[in-house]
Amino acid sequence: MPERDPYEVLGVSRGASDEEIRKAYLKLAHKYHPDKTGGDKAAEEKLKEINASYDILKNPEKRKQYDRFGHAGDPFGGAGGPFSGGFGGFGGAGQGFENAFEDVFDMFFGRSGGGGRRQRGPRAGNDLEYKVSITLREAAAGVKKTIRFGRMETCNECAGSGAAAGSRPEVCPACQGSGQTHIARGFFSVTQTCGRCRGTGRTVSKPCHRCGGEGRTRIQREIAVDIPAGVDTGLRLRVAGEGEPGENGGPRGDLHIYIEVQQDELFVREGSDILCEVPVSFPKAVLGATIRVPTLSGEAELKVPAGTQSGAILRLRGLGMPDLRGYRHGDQLVRIVVEVPTRLTRRQRELMQEFENESDEKAYPLYRRFVDKIKKFQG
């Protein structure tokens, strides 16, 4: 018997409607159910109080008497008081408790009013995953890839029943075809998937020799997939309906393709731009030149201005990676690496010496700034 006001326990006002009381009860019963609390003793006591309060307020006669007399019940000892019947109005065998919980099981465990059986409805099939590795150039242009993967299919031999030819599945003796078993734990009845039939409600005494009674077999599936231009590592493409078949008429799952773009020997991707390093001879860097550089779609001409320093980045507009939506292209960035000759002829050495003799510091602004910093540092 609850010692607190049942209205307070359920968190409703005294003028609450039957539907408001019912909704408040369902919310609290779900919150303090053992499946949610892991069998916590305090939660179990709280749930008992909640159910005792609901047992009073859901019954118009009991609620009327409580509103009039409170927890004292009928002062004349009538048998119809809100707390009659032994334990908190539950009755001698706990029948009231189970009735109070009927709404909870209907809502959260799918039990029906006709015997408590629950057949499994349609379930979507499992999704599958597949990784595709492509080159950077394929990612830039888009590519069609043929992929081969394994998936489960309905067995052709038994049409998915799992039973051998000439036989048929039988009602599971453990759950009587409901697909679920009920385990009583004190005042609570826990519903779980039947371990013998795995929730199907049927067992097979003579299994199909091809699928071993599973009703499904693994096959190899081959499909062509269009990979759009502009993809990058980590992008996922979904191919609807190429996953495993559903159960009980449910739809197929999907195939998720994960893209991996391989590293390239010449190019490094930076978002929609690409970067490559191009060595340039010392004379061309000094005098300026037009050189040919590689791109994702062939070669292109690049003008190197006179006096270009090593590490300078020049830009080829629109020759980078395409946008996935096809609106624009990134740029190609060319990092110039000025290469100093490692071997000189006698004549080249003489010319270089003459060049050095004719040079002054004004031709080397980087060196001049470096010397100024040293002088400033030395005070």
Question: Helices 18-31 and 95-108, interaxial angle, to 10°?
Answer: 80
**284 class by beta-carbon count within 10 Å (0-12 exposed, 13-18 middle, 19+ buried):** middle
Same domain membership, residue 257 and residue 133: yes
pLDDT tens-digit readout, 338-350: 999 999 999 999 9
**Which letter does DSSP use for residue 123 in this model?**
B
Q: What is the CATH number of the domain that holds 313?
A: 2.60.260.20
Please check whether residue 39 lies inside any domain of the structure. Answer: yes
Distance CA 193, CA 188 (A): 17
Instruction: Examine the domain organization and report whether 227 and 146 are in the same domain.
Output: yes
pLDDT per residue over 232-250, tens digit each? Answer: 999 999 999 999 988 777 8
pLDDT given at position 96 = 39
Q: Are residues 152 and 18 in the same domain?
A: no
- Measured between alpha carbons, how far is 156 from 216 in angstroms, rounded to an integer? 8
Asked if residue 243 and residue 159 are part of one domain, the reply reads: yes
Is position 294 within any domain? yes
The H or E element containing residue 153 is: strand 143-154
What span, in angstroms and rounded, lies between the C-alpha atoms of 346 and 222?
66
If asked whether residues 136 and 223 sit together in one domain, one would say: yes
Q: Is residue 1 part of a domain?
A: no
Q: Are 323 and 230 in contact (CB under 8 A)?
A: yes
d(CA 24, CA 266): 67
Same domain, 238 and 336: no
pLDDT at 333: 97
Is 26 part of any domain?
yes
Token pair belonging to 281: 């001879």
197 with 143, same domain: the answer is no
DSSP 306-361: TTPPTT-EEEETT-SPBPTTSS-B--EEEEEEEEPPS---HHHHHHHHHHHHH--G
**Ramachandran bin of 159, using left for φ above 0, alpha for ψ from -120 to 50, beta for the remaining angles:** left
Give CA–CA dist 135/138, Å, rounded.
5
Residues 122 and 259 in one domain: yes
179: in domain: yes
Task: Inform me whether the pLDDT recorded for 76 exceeds 50.
Answer: no
Cα dihedral 302, 304, 309, 313 sign: negative
Same domain, yes or no: 136 and 258? yes
Q: What is the mean pLDDT of the chain?
A: 82
Tell me: do 179 and 143 sit in the same domain: no
Q: What's the number of domains the chain is made of?
A: 5
Has residue 113 been placed in a domain?
A: no
191 with 83, same domain: the answer is no
pLDDT score of 215: 82
pTM of the entire predicted model: 0.57
Separation between Cα atoms, residue 154 and residue 168, nearest integer Å: 16
The encoded tokens of residue 309 equal: 């320093």
pLDDT computed for residue 365 by the predictor: 85
Residues 231 and 292 in one domain: no
Predicted pLDDT at 72: 57
Q: Residue 54 is part of a domain; what is its CATH number?
A: 1.10.287.110
Lowest mean pLDDT among 31-40, 53-62, 239-248, 302-311: 31-40
Query: pLDDT (tens digit, 9 = 90+) per residue, 112-131?
Result: 433 444 445 677 888 999 99
Picking from 108, 135, 153, the residue at the C-terminal end of a domain is 108
Note down the domain range covering 180. 170-203
pLDDT at 108 over 90: no
